[in-house]
Amino acid sequence: MDPSKEQPSKDNQNKSDHGSFGDDPWRAMGLVGTIGADLAACLGLGYWLGHKADLANGTEYYSIIGLVAGLAIGIITVIFLIRTFAGGKAK
C-alpha cells in the first residue's frame, strides 16, 4: 500500500489543540469580545439595579454598590469564560 494514499489517522486529522489559541486569531478575538460584553453587561445591570434601589429609597449610594457587585460578578464570570475557552473545567 502506498503511504502517500493513506488516510490520516484520527489523531492527526484534528491536530488543532482546543486548549490553546495557537494561531487562531478569530478564537482569541471571540474571547476578548465575549469578555468585554460580559463585563459591560454585568456592570450595566449592577448600576441599573442600584439606581432603581436609589430611586425607591431616596438614597445615592446603591448605584455604587451595584457597580461594585456587578464588577465582582463580572470578574467571576470572566474566570469561567477563560477556563471554558482554554479547555479547562469550570469548577
Predicted pLDDT of residue 45: 97
For residues 3-9, give the mean pLDDT.
Answer: 57
Looking at residue 40, its pLDDT comes to 97
Q: Quick count: other Cβ atoms within 10 Å of Cβ 3?
A: 5
pLDDT score of 8 = 56
- Burial profile 65-74: b = 16 or more Cβ within 10 angstroms, e = fewer: bbbebbeebb
pLDDT at residue 25 in the model: 87
CA distance 79 to 39: 11
Banded model confidence at residue 87, pLDDT cuts 50, 70, 90: confident
Its pTM stands at: 0.68
What are the pLDDT digits (tens) for 13-72? 554 455 555 678 888 898 899 999 999 999 999 999 999 999 999 999 999 999 999 999
Q: Is the pLDDT of residue 6 over 70?
A: no
